[in-house]
Amino acid sequence: MGKCSKDKRDLYYRKAKEQGWRARSAFKLLQLNSQFGLLDGVSRVVDLCAAPGSWSQVLARTLPADTAKIVSVDLQPIAPIEGVVTLQADITHRSTLESIFELFGGEPADLVISDGAPDVTGLHDLDEYIQAQLLLSALSLATSMLKPGGAFVAKIFRGRDVDLLYSQLALLFERVACAKPRSSRASSLEAFVVCQGYVPRAGWVPPSLAVAARPALCAPLVPASAAAAAAERVVAPFVACGDLSDYDADASYPAAGAAALDPVQAPTAPPYKTALELKRRGALN
Ligand code: SAM
């Protein structure tokens, strides 16, 4: 499938290019924000797993430039975005938390968002495990640096035991919802946990720079046993975000005469970069 046909078929893909978003994911955050008011009154925000940067663009375009502090983190380099500090780092490493704290001058964050997804190996169990680790790291990071009342949003894939996850999140946040933006394909298990009203757990002290050696990022966040958590399974409300007049991500739209548009931002370090380089040098057929 050429880029031209995708331009015509996927309206969000096309609209993203027209509006200057680096990825169609921008619409997911926009729709989540219009449903939950996530960005209202926010000044310090961390965007985890942020490359190529469309969520960071939404933050930079929506939050007041004079007061907002936006830190975006990814394994991949993120091309510069005005008003955003980018970090090339692994969110599963504790040193990443320290770097973010430093950038915030030790102040807590109002909001932590994560659109993390690992490179898929095709080995289902392994992929699921890595995705769960990413979510756990994002949550660990969020609970280490959110202010009381702060919010956390993260991508999940709704699997078998997703209600256990909701139960555990409900121990840390006043409100937990499972949200599906209209720009996320209905055919995909992708959804977002939207957790608002962070309540630090009594007796659990989030790590700070001074106590960086404390094993916070790897320790279980919620000490309750699986059996205890199962006894208190929470049914998180399922919230479809975006109004019916928004485009349907699963539909194909006619786009008579639509020309292919160039990407807003070329990939900074695509996995196929080495192969292209070898091919250019004639080392690959
Ligand atoms: N929200 C982004 C946007 O709007 O442009 C798209 C994020 S993309 C779906 C998922 C990202 O997760 C990838 O860029 C990948 O590099 C990143 N990622 C995966 N594992 C990571 C890790 N351990 N630490 C940091 N980033 C990670």
In the chain the beta strands, taken as DSSP E runs, fall at 44-48, 69-74, 84-88, 109-114, 146-157, 173-181, 190-198, 238-241
The residue with greater pLDDT, 239 or 266, is 239
Q: Candidates 45, 54, 75, 192: which one to mutate for ligand 1, based on the most atoms within 8 Å of Cβ?
A: 75
Exactly one of 8, 17, 28, 155 is catalytic; name it: 155
Alpha carbon of 53 to ligand 1 centroid (Å): 9
Q: Is the Cα torsion angle 44, 34, 133, 72 positive or negative in sign?
A: negative
Contact call for residues 72 and 44 (beta carbons, < 8 A): no
Looking at residue 198, its pLDDT comes to: 96
Share of the chain above pLDDT 90, in %: 52
Q: Which atom of ligand 1 is nearest to the CA of 115?
A: 1
- Which CATH class for the 5-284 domain? alpha beta
Q: Whose CA is nearest to atom 24 of ligand 1?
A: 90
Q: How confident is the model at residue 9 (pLDDT cuts 50, 70, 90)?
A: low
Cis amide prior to 148 (ω within 30 degrees):
no
Closest CA to 151 of 41, 26, 237: 41
Alpha carbon of 230 to ligand 1 centroid (Å): 30
The residue with greater pLDDT, 44 or 130, is 44
Cα gap 213→25, rounded to integer Å: 35
Looking at residue 272, its pLDDT comes to: 75
The residue with greater pLDDT, 213 or 87, is 87
Looking at residue 216, its pLDDT comes to: 40
Alpha carbon of 116 to ligand 1 centroid (Å): 5
Q: Candidates 74, 141, 184: which one to mutate for ligand 1, based on the most atoms within 8 Å of Cβ?
A: 74
| 73-77, 136-140, 176-180, 202-206: range with lowest mean pLDDT | 202-206
Q: Which residue has the tokens 């939207």?
A: 194
Q: How confident is the model at residue 220 (pLDDT cuts 50, 70, 90)?
A: very low
Q: What is the pLDDT of residues 138-184, one digit of tens each?
A: 999 999 999 999 999 999 988 877 888 999 899 999 999 999 999 99
Q: How confident is the model at residue 129 (pLDDT cuts 50, 70, 90)?
A: confident
Long-range contacts at 269-274 (CB < 8 A, ≥ 24 apart): 269/76, 269/77, 271/119
Q: Which atom of ligand 1 is nearest to the CA of 73?
A: 25
Q: Which atom of ligand 1 is nearest to the CA of 28?
A: 4
Q: What is the pLDDT of residues 22-39, one digit of tens each?
A: 999 999 999 999 999 999
pTM as predicted: 0.85
Q: Which of 54-68, 196-210, 237-251 has the highest mean pLDDT?
A: 54-68
Q: Which atom of ligand 1 is nearest to the CA of 90?
A: 24
When the pLDDT of each residue in the chain is averaged and rounded to a whole number, the result is 84
Domain boundaries, the chain: 5-284
The residue with greater pLDDT, 229 or 124, is 124
Q: What is the pLDDT of residues 221-233, one digit of tens each?
A: 444 565 665 566 7
Cα gap 266→246, rounded to integer Å: 27
- Mean pLDDT of the 130-141 span: 90
Active site residue 155: yes
Alpha carbon of 171 to ligand 1 centroid (Å): 26
Q: Classify burial at 117, counting beta carbons within 10 Å of its beta carbon; exposed 0-12, middle 13-18, buried 19 or more.
A: middle
Looking at residue 126, its pLDDT comes to: 85
- Mean pLDDT of the 5-10 span: 63
Q: Residues 215, 49, 276, CA angle at the centre, nearest 5°?
A: 125
Alpha carbon of 20 to ligand 1 centroid (Å): 19
Residues near ligand 1 with C-beta < 6 Å? 22-23, 25, 49-55, 73-76, 90-92, 115-118, 134
